[in-house]
């Protein structure tokens, strides 16, 4: 059976941007920004996207295109059976992320519908508290998942590519329109100020926490570490610069993310609510509350949550495709069987998250960061120490002069610097989950030794040895 490919270059880019732009930009980012000191978080997050996210994303694309396989098949193909576990980490990360993602997708779906009737206008806080977890949340999670399954089962070009080439431009246009309209609201200026002004003191005091949260979010927003970009790159037929594509994807994602911030923060402040109060529900309580008080609030609400729904769907599609491509490639399933199988699994795991705030919180905040970080560390060490020269060759394939110039610095970054940095945030993150604060020198030492040990083992197991 010949493997699917993207129809056009722009189709791949839009699908990848669709994967990147999602709840990460509109829901998780404002929530974390508010929790981590506003612009202090924004600055670190932008820096980490450039320094870690983009090279990491390219590292993932390299593996996907080189192998032309799903994550598990990719590592088997390129490194032999003993590296299949790296693909298994990706599958796990994908399952973890989609389990809570589709719960939030369900909330968004519900809010899109109830904006039309103004159901939550009178008492937004009570409304959200009544629907956030439990039977209703399970039902809407199932509905969101069903939509995801419906797109993915149509295939790479007829389903994913066709839908994302419509959705992504739609998201940009609608979000841009909202940003312009929001600028006319009284109080908007305070929102911009919170979003754009840097509190150096806060950053200095809380540097480590902000750093770990920002690193996790930089991976999350670029869809890196769960094999989604790897899988999308495996459908690339022609040779063109992965460095250029990866950079373009990140630039578009960041631009759309900043645009989303220009909508969300002024809206919050125009109502005089501090975004710090809301936690994961901020979007649904504070922001939704704003719609109730606005002229044409119902229309604005439907448009806003509709945009977010599109963004969430185009990301969920890419996560589901990780599991689906695995079942098709490795277990010889038809696309329909694979989609239903993966959908069935997520129906169960997502329902647990939809029923339990504790499970949801754990998955959405810390566990998601940890699995994505673990996944990316594995991918990059594989690039650096198993593929080695071949990774650079793949990086340079189809690339222009500039990309060939940066190929060596890129290689050093992904083989050494990024794994050590990511391992450091991983160790610190595990420490805070377990409630044992790990001092930075110790975390650095563990990261360096751990990465060196894994790199040495990987290099010895490389088939090119």
- Positions touching ligand PHE (CB under 6 A) are 19-20, 22-25, 97, 220-221, 223, 226, 228, 315, 318-319
Q: Shortest approach of ligand PHE to residue 225 CB, angstroms?
A: 7
Contact 15, 239 (CB under 8 A): no
Nearer to ligand PHE by Cβ, of 19 and 254: the residue is: 19
Residue 424's nearest CA partner among 386, 355, 377 is 377
Q: Shortest approach of ligand PHE to residue 153 CB, angstroms?
A: 18
Measured at CB, which residue is nearest to ligand PHE?
24
Nearer to ligand PHE by Cβ, of 163 and 223: the residue is: 223
Nearer to ligand PHE by Cβ, of 319 and 399: the residue is: 319
Q: Shortest approach of ligand PHE to residue 347 CB, angstroms?
A: 19
Between CA 391 and CA 373 the distance in angstroms is 20
Q: What are phi and psi of 166, to 5 degrees?
A: -90, -40
Nearer to ligand PHE by Cβ, of 60 and 394: the residue is: 60
Nearer to ligand PHE by Cβ, of 94 and 403: the residue is: 94
Q: Shortest approach of ligand PHE to residue 177 CB, angstroms?
A: 21
Q: Shortest approach of ligand PHE to residue 323 CB, angstroms?
A: 12
Q: Shortest approach of ligand PHE to residue 395 CB, angstroms?
A: 22
Q: Shortest approach of ligand PHE to residue 413 CB, angstroms?
A: 21
Q: Tokens for 22? A: 């999602």
Between CA 223 and CA 319 the distance in angstroms is 9
Nearer to ligand PHE by Cβ, of 96 and 294: the residue is: 96
> 3-class DSSP state for residue 226?
coil
Q: Tokens for 461? A: 């197991």
Sign of the torsion angle spanned by Cα atoms 235, 315, 48, 83: negative
- Rounded to whole angstroms, what are the CA distances from 249 to 13, 55, 171, 224? 7, 12, 15, 12
> 3-class DSSP state for residue 436?
coil
Nearer to ligand PHE by Cβ, of 318 and 339: the residue is: 318
Q: What are phi and psi of 363, to 5 degrees?
A: -65, -50
Q: Shortest approach of ligand PHE to residue 220 CB, angstroms?
A: 5
Query: DSSP letter at 363?
Result: I
Contact 71, 245 (CB under 8 A): no
Between CA 403 and CA 411 the distance in angstroms is 12
Q: Shortest approach of ligand PHE to residue 94 CB, angstroms?
A: 7
Nearer to ligand PHE by Cβ, of 188 and 308: the residue is: 308
Contact 227, 373 (CB under 8 A): no
Contact 393, 78 (CB under 8 A): no
Contact 327, 314 (CB under 8 A): no
Nearer to ligand PHE by Cβ, of 322 and 446: the residue is: 322
């Amino acid at each position: 059976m010949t493997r699917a490919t993207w129809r056009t270059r722009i189709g791949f880019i839009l699908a990848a941007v669709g994967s990147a732009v999602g709840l990460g930009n509109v829901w998780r980012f404002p929530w974390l920004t508010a929790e981590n000191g506003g612009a202090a978080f924004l600055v670190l997050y932008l820096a980490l996207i450039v320094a870690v996210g983009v090279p990491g994303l390219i590292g993932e694309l390299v593996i996907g295109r080189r192998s032309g396989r799903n994550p598990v098949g990719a590592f088997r193909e390129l490194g032999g059976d003993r590296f299949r576990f790296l693909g298994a980490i990706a599958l796990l990360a994908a399952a973890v992320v989609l389990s809570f993602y589709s719960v939030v997708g369900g909330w968004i779906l519900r809010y899109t519908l109830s904006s039309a009737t103004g159901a939550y206008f009178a008492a937004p806080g009570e409304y959200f508290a009544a629907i956030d977890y439990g039977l209703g949340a399970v039902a809407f999670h199932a509905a969101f998942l069903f939509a995801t399954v419906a797109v993915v089962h149509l295939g790479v070009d007829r389903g994913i590519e066709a839908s994302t080439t419509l959705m992504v431009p739609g998201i940009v246009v609608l979000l841009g329109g909202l940003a312009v309209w929001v600028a006319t609201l009284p109080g908007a200026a305070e929102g911009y100020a919170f979003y754009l002004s840097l509190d150096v003191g806060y950053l200095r005091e809380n540097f480590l926490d902000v750093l770990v949260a920002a690193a996790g979010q930089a991976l999350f927003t670029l869809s890196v570490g769960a094999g989604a970009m790897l899988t999308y790159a495996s459908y690339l037929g022609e040779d063109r610069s992965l460095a250029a594509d990866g950079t373009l994807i990140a630039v578009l994602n960041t631009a759309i993310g900043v645009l989303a911030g220009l909508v969300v923060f002024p809206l919050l402040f125009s109502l005089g609510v501090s975004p710090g109060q809301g936690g994961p529900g901020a979007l649904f309580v504070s922001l939704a509350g704003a719609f109730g008080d606005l002229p044409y609030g119902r229309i604005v609400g439907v448009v806003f949550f509709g945009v977010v729904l599109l963004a969430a769907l185009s990301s969920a599609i890419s996560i589901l495709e990780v599991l689906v491509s695995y079942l098709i490639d490795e277990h010889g399933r038809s696309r329909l069987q694979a989609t239903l199988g993966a959908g069935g699994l997520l129906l169960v795991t997502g329902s647990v998250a939809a029923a339990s705030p504790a499970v949801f919180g754990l998955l959405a905040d810390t566990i998601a960061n940890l699995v994505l970080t673990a996944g990316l560390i594995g991918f990059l060490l594989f690039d650096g120490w198993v593929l080695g020269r071949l990774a650079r060759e793949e990086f340079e394939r189809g690339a222009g002069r500039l990309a060939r110039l940066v190929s060596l610095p890129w290689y050093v970054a992904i083989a050494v610097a990024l794994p050590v940095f990511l391992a450091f945030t991983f160790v610190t993150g595990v420490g805070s989950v377990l409630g044992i604060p790990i001092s930075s020198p110790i975390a650095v030492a563990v990261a360096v030794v751990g990465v060196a040990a894994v790199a040495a083992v990987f290099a010895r197991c490389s088939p090119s040895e």
